[in-house]
């Protein structure tokens, strides 16, 4: 706690007064444009990564940036997704994975989960990722980034089983994006459904980003 108190004082005494108008506006309502689904990993700061202000992102975080298929989990993901789309009327959904993901390492049995039964149970929602990776690569040829990227595609498929998402996609009200953030370089790779691969964000053309959806229904 002693590591947090100086930051709280700085926020109260300096940051808040400098942005008082913003926070007064946010006290009335929120109008985020993007639902960002990412990992709980402490090395990810969504607002720092996207250079956005408070109120711009509606964020769901959990181990492995996992979205269980509709009806498969008693967690809060379903409610948060529904609220983001039907309540807040967001226009973009981003699933953002990251390099060196411990959850994906655990999925591929690189981490002992005997003492983490809840984590092991949670990762069952990413078993399709594991099956897909093993189906196209020999076990000794698999690197962690293969799993991280495949998991984003798997979770996108899961996301589309949610009625609010599938309905909004059919009506071209939202766009879906898959990202991979690399801690060591600062690069963010974005999935290009035409090339069927992740490409550096600087190489993604504006017209591609503005297509009705980066992922087919």
Over the stretch 143-177, which tens digit does the pLDDT of each residue have?
A: 999 999 999 999 999 999 999 999 999 999 999 99
- Is there a domain that residue 14 lies in? no
- Is there a domain that residue 68 lies in? yes
Distance between CA atoms of 100 and 81, rounded to whole angstroms? 26
- Indicate if the pLDDT at residue 131 is higher than 90: yes
The pairing of strands 175-181 and 197-200 is: unpaired
- Indicate if the pLDDT at residue 76 is higher than 60: yes
- Is there a domain that residue 44 lies in? yes
Look up the CATH number of the domain holding residue 154. Answer: 3.40.1050.10
> Is 39 marked as a binding-site residue?
yes
Q: What is the 3-state secondary structure (H, E, C) of 168-196?
A: HHHCCCCEEEEEEECCCCCCEEEEECCCC
- Is there a domain that residue 134 lies in? yes
pTM: 0.91
> Is 114 marked as a binding-site residue?
no
3-state helix, strand, coil in the chain (%, to 5): 45, 15, 40
> Is 197 marked as a binding-site residue?
no
> Is 98 marked as a binding-site residue?
yes
Q: What is the mean pLDDT of residues 59-77?
A: 93
Which has more pLDDT, 166 or 73? 166
Mean pLDDT of the chain: 92
CB atoms within 10 A of CB 87: 13
- Count: domains in the chain: 1
Structural domain including 92 reads: 31-209
Count helices and strands (H / E) in the chain: 11, 6
Note the pLDDT of residue 73. 77
- Is there a domain that residue 25 lies in? no
217: confidence class by pLDDT, cuts 50, 70, 90: very low
- Model confidence over 20-39: pLDDT tens digits? 999 999 999 999 999 999 99
Q: In sequence order, what DSSP letters do the residues of 93-150 get, joined into one string?
A: EEEEEETT-HHHHHHTT-S--TT-HHHHHHGGGGHHHHHHHHHHS-GGG--HHHHHHH
- Model confidence over 99-114: pLDDT tens digits? 999 999 999 988 889 9
- Is there a domain that residue 142 lies in? yes
Distance between CA atoms of 14 and 205, rounded to whole angstroms? 39
Distance between CA atoms of 165 and 176, rounded to whole angstroms? 10
Note the pLDDT of residue 194. 84
Q: How many residues does the chain have?
A: 217
- Model confidence over 182-212: pLDDT tens digits? 999 999 999 998 888 999 887 666 655 666 5
- Is there a domain that residue 9 lies in? no
- Is there a domain that residue 15 lies in? no
Question: Are residues 148 and 97 in contact, defined by beta-carbon separation less than 8 angstroms?
Answer: yes
Q: Which residues, other chains included, contact 167 with Cβ-Cβ below 8 Å and sequence gap of 6+?
A: none
């Amino acid at each position: 706690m002693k590591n947090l108190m100086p930051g709280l004082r700085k926020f109260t005494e300096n940051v808040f007064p400098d942005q008082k108008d913003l926070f007064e506006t946010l006290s009335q309502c929120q109008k985020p444009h993007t639902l960002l689904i990412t990992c709980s990993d402490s090395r990810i700061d969504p607002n720092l990564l996207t250079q956005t202000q408070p109120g711009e992102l509606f964020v769901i975080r959990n181990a492995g940036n996992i979205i269980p298929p509709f009806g498969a989990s008693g967690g809060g993901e379903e409610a948060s997704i529904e609220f983001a789309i039907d309540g807040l009327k967001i226009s973009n959904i981003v699933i953002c994975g990251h390099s060196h993901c411990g959850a994906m390492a655990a999925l591929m049995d690189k981490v002992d989960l005997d003492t983490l039964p809840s984590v092991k149970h949670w990762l069952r929602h990413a078993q399709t990722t594991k099956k897909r990776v093993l189906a196209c690569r020999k076990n000794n040829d698999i690197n962690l980034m293969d799993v991280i990227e495949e998991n984003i595609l798997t979770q996108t498929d899961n996301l589309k089983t949610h009625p609010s998402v599938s309905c909004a996609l059919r009506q071209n009200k939202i766009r879906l994006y898959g990202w991979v953030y690399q801690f060591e370089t600062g690069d963010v790779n974005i999935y290009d459904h035409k090339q069927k691969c992740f490409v550096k964000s600087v190489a993604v053309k504006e017209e591609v980003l503005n297509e009705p959806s980066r992922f087919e229904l």
